[in-house]
Amino acid sequence: MFGHNFNERGDRMARDPLTREWAEKMDQTDELSSFRQEFYIQEGTIYLNGNSLGLLSKRAEASLHAQLESWQRYGIGGWTQGKRPWFFLAESLRGGLAPLVGAKEHEVIVTGSTTVNIHQLLATFYRPQGKRTKIVTDVLTFPSDIYALQSQLRLFGLDPETHLIQVQSRDGRLLDEEEIVRQLTDEVALVLLPTVLYGSGQRLDIERVTKAAHERGIMIGWDACHSIGAMPHEFHRWGVDFAVWCSYKYLNSGPGSVGGLFVHEKHLPALPGLAGWFGSDKERQFDMEHTFIPAGDAGAFQIGTPHILSMAPIAGSLELFAEAGIDRIRAKSLRLTGYLMALVDGWLAGMGFEIANPREDERRGGHVALVHPDAVRICKALKEEEVIPDFRAPDMIRLAPTALYTSFVEVWEAVNRLKRIMTDKTYEQFLNERGVVA
């Protein structure tokens, strides 16, 4: 009922899994439970929106304060002085970041934002030639990725209507990897896909699709915004050409925190499509020459001066991931989402809900996606009950129990409150209109 990872820990217990006592027992045996104390959690609030913005940890706060203190103490000297000198800050974070994406340290760098990094890597690796001009993506990916792809095509004088291929979905929620592979024709120059769909939470078979692209001579990149920090990756071993991600969701590094990128070592050293001063070889950067000499690793893909205060929390956050281990985080995440689905099945049957995400562990990301015609009003009612969900148009409620700080009792209580909202029909008092920011 909860997926194989969940069964290994709990389903032989004598108590009914739908009881609060069972959830309490799961928390007592949870080997990651101590990490909850590392986060600022509002008393009485159940936060299930970590797939949009993770909560602040005390480590992230401390690493931000440390950089403020460096600024206070050293002024401009902070670029080369202090515990984490700013000039090398992005490079210093590689050791904690690389294991989360299955990379070698020189293949990753903390820089930019997701969209900026997509533009950078497309400017570097999208090289339309002859009849190979098309880019394959999907119809369910995050809009910003589409805007970037359309922009890059226009820069080459190509019409996105004919040169951007969006793999369709049969149900508007999930993608079929077979259909993705069918679209990899000899007219395709590049592929960009999400590792996990932001809506339904479907995890794509990254290894399989990457292999299929390479067998056809196609470059392939991945947007890992909705998977990094929630599950392991093996980008190097799988041969992924490039990848991008943000750090403010499961990595818990704060609103607008600096993103990151991966470039496989087979493409290094590479001349970035968008060159900037901070992509220079560190030994030559202050020579101030007008000839760009790129770093010999993924650092070459940096553009402008890094946002030090937005990058600082990543250092503290990565400490927690190193201590918890991404494999243990993934195992607990699957147990939490499996338990949430079991409660929905047991308590909300007949109330109009449908679970939109895949149920299989290997196909599921870090959140549960519930579809309901009154999703907007239900989300508003949940917030009144101090449960923080996430709405996605037109009818999706995303619930993301986060392994480092969500308890099983919180999952139980959240669905219990949702059941009460539906039974008492309290959601009907709210307007069926989303806010400007959903």
CA angle, residues 370, 373, 379, in degrees to nearest 5: 60
Distance CA 134, CA 268 (A): 24
Which tens digits make up the pLDDT trace of 319-332?
A: 999 999 999 999 99
Closest-CA residue to 135 (of 220, 54, 201): 220
The annotation places the binding site for pyridoxal 5'-phosphate at 114-115, 142-145, 223, 226, 248, 277, 305
Specify the pLDDT at position 16. 86
Distance CA 328, CA 34 (A): 13
**Burial group, residue 239, by CB count within 10 angstroms (0-12, 13-18, 19+):** middle
Residue type, 92: S
Show the 3-state SS of the chain.
CCCHHHHHHCCCCCCCCCCHHHHHHHHHCCCCHHHHHHECCCCCCEECECCCCCCCEHHHHHHHHHHHHHHHHHHHHHHCCCCCCHHHHHHHCHHHHHHHHCCCHHHEEECCCHHHHHHHHHHHHCCCECCECEEEEECCCCHHHHHHHHHHHHHCCCCHHHHEEEECCCCCCCCCHHHHHHCCCCCEEEEEEECECCCCCEECCHHHHHHHHHHCCCEEEEECCCCCCCCCCCHHHHCCCEEEECCCCCCCCCCCCCCEEEECHHHCCCCCCCCCHHHECCCCHHHCCCCCCECCCHHHHCCCCCCHHHHHHHHHHHHHHHHHCHHHHHHHHHHHHHHHHHHHHHHCCCCCCEECCCCCHHHECCCEEEECCCHHHHHHHHHHCCEECEEECCCEEEEECCCCCCCHHHHHHHHHHHHHHHHHCHHHHCCCCCCCCC
Which stretches of the chain drop beneath a pLDDT of 70? 1-15, 436, 438
Distance CA 402, CA 229 (A): 10
Tell me, which fold does domain 84-323 have in CATH?
A: Aspartate Aminotransferase; domain 2 (3.40.640)
Specify the pLDDT at position 6. 45
418 Cβ contact partners less than 8 Å away, ≥ 6 residues apart: 348, 378, 382, 387
Q: Over the range 256-283, which residues count as b (16 or more CB within 10 Å of their CB) and which as e?
A: ebbbbbbbbeeebbbebbbbbebbbbee
Which tens digits make up the pLDDT trace of 68-89?
A: 999 999 999 999 999 999 999 9
| Assigned token pair, 221 | 């990149």
Q: Please tell me if the domain spanning 4-56+326-429 has the same topology as the one spanning 84-323.
A: no
The annotation places the binding site at 114-115, 142-145, 223, 226, 248, 277, 305
Specify the pLDDT at position 15. 58
Pair 111, 258: CB distance under 8 Å: yes
Position of tokens 């119809």?
Answer: 139
Spell out the domain ranges in the chain.
4-56+326-429, 84-323
Record the pTM: 0.95
Cis before residue 401, ω within 30 degrees of 0?
no
Catalytic amino acids?
A: 142, 223, 248-249, 398
The CATH code of the domain at 4-56+326-429 is 3.90.1150.10
